[in-house]
Chains A and B, each alone.
Chain A
Amino acid sequence: MSDLRDLYQEVILDHSKNPRNFRKCETANRTAVGYNPLCGDKMTLFLTVENGIVTDASFQGSGCAISTASASMMTESLKGKTEKEADELFQQFQNMVTAPMDQEPDTEALGKLRVFAGVREFPARVKCASLAWHTLEAAIHGESDEPVSTE
């Protein structure tokens, strides 16, 4: 049986109640809107990228504990990373939350973000954890104004 404590770890609860970098950024040069139609979660991500390096990341929106904490911790981990490093983080995060239960995915680069490993025991919540990350991908690579959707 899956354990709720794997999902709602202290760090996750803390970030969901007190999200970091929860603000609008007027000077951001990359923004994207992410939307999870299933639960109505919506977030806007603001990135400032200078010379290929993320110098600021923040977000706004409403969501469940998992998606809020994920966005909060993601923005913390992005600062100082190159766009390429951000892409790699996205890949590792995606692998971690979607890997089959009998596999140990590579989480080397993820550091603190490893607390989200428990999400894969709760398939219905994987989209909550990855909403911020899909929004990040859209902000870095996207040209479309359409919100990215987890559906």
Chain B
Amino acid sequence: MTTSQIIKQNQTGAFDVEIVRKDFPLLKRMVHGKPLVYLDNAATSQKPLSVIEAIDRYYSEENANIHRGVHWLSERATEAYENARARIARYINAAKPQEVIITRGTTESINLVAFSWGWKNLRDGDEVLISAMEHHSNIVPWQMICARTGAKLRVIPVSDNGEILLYEYRNLLNPKTRIVAVTHVSNVLGTVNPVSEMIQWAHENGSLFLLDGAQSIPHMDANMRELDCDFFAFSGHKLFGPTGIGVLYGKFALLDEMDPYQGGGDMIRSVTFEKTIYNSVPHKFEAGTPHIAGGIGLGEAIAYLEKLNRHAAEIHETNLLHYGESLLRQIPGVRIIGNAKEKAGAISFLMDGVHPHDIGTILDQEGIAIRTGHHCCQPLMERFGIPATARASLAFYNSREDLDALAEALGKVRDIFH
């Protein structure tokens, strides 16, 4: 869709998925002789042509190192990169662009907080609180820093429906809780956690709150000043941008207090062998030459989202999720894992007598891409007593036809196994 088409759509308030799909070149391709049905958006999303072109344009016309050169090209590249930062900051309603640190992705963002903030602030006996539905990237960095500081990792349990048990959360919060790190939306269960309330409780308890936004920002507003979280992490590649780029949002005062955990070029103000003075926020956390094209690509992805009627897109996605769940429930032997009241993005399911891996292979032959396995959430799999799930995950460019194809192919799975 051209910009003018999107604007026209915005004016009418409608959401036409067929028009939107035209912006994503990869969705046109065939797989195993069948039209691709892409239902693996929680793993990574497809990219609109405007993002692909922006990256191409950067390398064809503007490529230079940033923050370093006096020459014209370097100034152009620096400007493009910093414009992307400003655009991201505006999109998430940060108080200022400096609150946006550009990283490699959610994983690096969480590691940055664990090692920069955690190393300085965690002491023997302190507690870090996470939930039972965290991705490994919001578990392992905390385990690592806890092992080094003597802090203790504690876990908020999850109900059979896949919801965080709020009364348990309340009980776990105590004066030793220094930080709470929880996902906004579960990549396995699709649960949307009641984070506003959770953040408020943490703050009342004197604890900081890190929100893992990897699976929320592709589906809903991520308004930093409204959410009031202290840190927010997300990945560009799940937000219709390139891989290898992501964001850590942090409240300025906190970032200003923190020391960097990586040293190198760009993050310093002055270096002698005796003493190094760090650069200001955000640059002190961005050592070395960054993924410039990636940053520009992510800025362009956000420009695309700004033009989309996000409200209509959200309604479309919610309808799709309900439609998909109702189709799956009609198939004998299919059980949905994760039945929270509030869900977004993902439907995990099991089929009696068929391992998810076999479902994945059979669906693939039909051109349908889903993910099967533990989804980097082994403790959550253990909680539900299952080795793996099959997961269909959505983006706004998915259609009812995609889900019809999924349901039909699951019929074939049954035929093979029964």
Given A8-B416, A40-B378, A40-B381, A65 contacting B358 (CB threshold 8 A):
yes
B residues near A39, Cβ cutoff 8 Å: 355-357, 372-374, 387-388
Report the separation of the CA atoms of residues A40 and B376 in the bound assembly, to the nearest whole angstrom: 10
> Is B362 interfacial (CB 8 A cutoff)?
yes
> Is B354 interfacial (CB 8 A cutoff)?
yes
B residues near A125, Cβ cutoff 8 Å: 357, 361
How many chain A residues sit at the interface, stated as a range, is: 20 to 34
Cβ–Cβ contact A40 & B416, under 8 A = no
Q: Mark B351-383, 1 if CB is under 8 A from A, else 0.
A: 001111110011001000000111000100100
> Is A62 interfacial (CB 8 A cutoff)?
yes
A residues near B372, Cβ cutoff 8 Å: 39
Cβ–Cβ contact A13 & B388, under 8 A = no
Most chain A beta-carbon contacts within 10 A, residue among B32, B356, B365: B365
CB contacts under 8 Å to B, within A65-81, are 65-66, 68
A residues near B416, Cβ cutoff 8 Å: 4, 8, 13
Most chain B beta-carbon contacts within 10 A, residue among A1, A65, A122, A125: A65
B residues near A65, Cβ cutoff 8 Å: 354-355, 358, 417
B residues near A128, Cβ cutoff 8 Å: 357
- A1 in complex: contacting residue of B33, B354, B378, CB < 8 Å: B33
A residues near B388, Cβ cutoff 8 Å: 39-40
Cβ–Cβ contact B355 & A63, under 8 A = yes
Cβ–Cβ contact B353 & A40, under 8 A = no
Report the separation of the CA atoms of residues A40 and B380 in the bound assembly, to the nearest whole angstrom: 13
Q: How many A-B residue pairs have CB under 8 A?
A: 52
Q: Mark B121-161, 1 if CB is under 8 A from A, else 0.
A: 00000000000000000000000000000000000000000
Cβ–Cβ contact B358 & A66, under 8 A = yes
B322 CB → nearest A CB, Å: 29
Find the A residue at minimum CB distance from B412.
Answer: A4
A residues near B381, Cβ cutoff 8 Å: 40
> Is A101 interfacial (CB 8 A cutoff)?
no
Interface of A is mostly: mixed
> Is A28 interfacial (CB 8 A cutoff)?
no
Most chain B beta-carbon contacts within 10 A, residue among A4, A7, A63, A124: A4
CB contacts under 8 Å to A, within B1-56, are 32-33
Given A13-B417, A122-B361, A125-B361, A40 contacting B387 (CB threshold 8 A):
yes
Report the separation of the CA atoms of residues A41 and B372 in the bound assembly, to the nearest whole angstrom: 12
Report the separation of the CA atoms of residues A122 and B71 in the bound assembly, to the nearest whole angstrom: 52
CB contacts under 8 Å to B, within A41-88, are 41-42, 62-66, 68
Cβ–Cβ contact B365 & A4, under 8 A = yes
Report the separation of the CA atoms of residues A40 and B353 in the bound assembly, to the nearest whole angstrom: 16
Report the separation of the CA atoms of residues A6 and B358 in the bound assembly, to the nearest whole angstrom: 14
Most chain A beta-carbon contacts within 10 A, residue among B358, B387, B416, B417: B358
A residues near B373, Cβ cutoff 8 Å: 38-40
Find the A residue at minimum CB distance from B32.
Answer: A1
Given A39-B373, A41-B387, A64 contacting B32 (CB threshold 8 A):
no
Q: Mark A1-30, 1 if CB is under 8 A from B, else 0.
A: 110100110000100010000000000000
Can you name 20 extra interface pairs (CB under 8 A) apart from A39-B356, A125-B357?
A1-B32, A4-B365, A7-B361, A8-B362, A8-B416, A13-B416, A38-B373, A39-B372, A39-B388, A40-B388, A41-B357, A62-B387, A63-B355, A64-B355, A64-B356, A64-B358, A65-B354, A65-B417, A124-B361, A125-B361
25 contacts between A and B (CB under 8 A): A2-B32, A2-B365, A4-B361, A4-B362, A4-B416, A7-B361, A13-B416, A13-B417, A17-B353, A39-B355, A39-B372, A39-B373, A39-B374, A39-B387, A40-B373, A40-B374, A40-B378, A40-B387, A40-B388, A41-B387, A64-B357, A64-B358, A65-B355, A65-B358, A66-B358
Which 6 A-B pairs give the minimum distances between C-beta atoms?
A64-B355, A64-B357, A40-B387, A39-B357, A40-B388, A65-B358
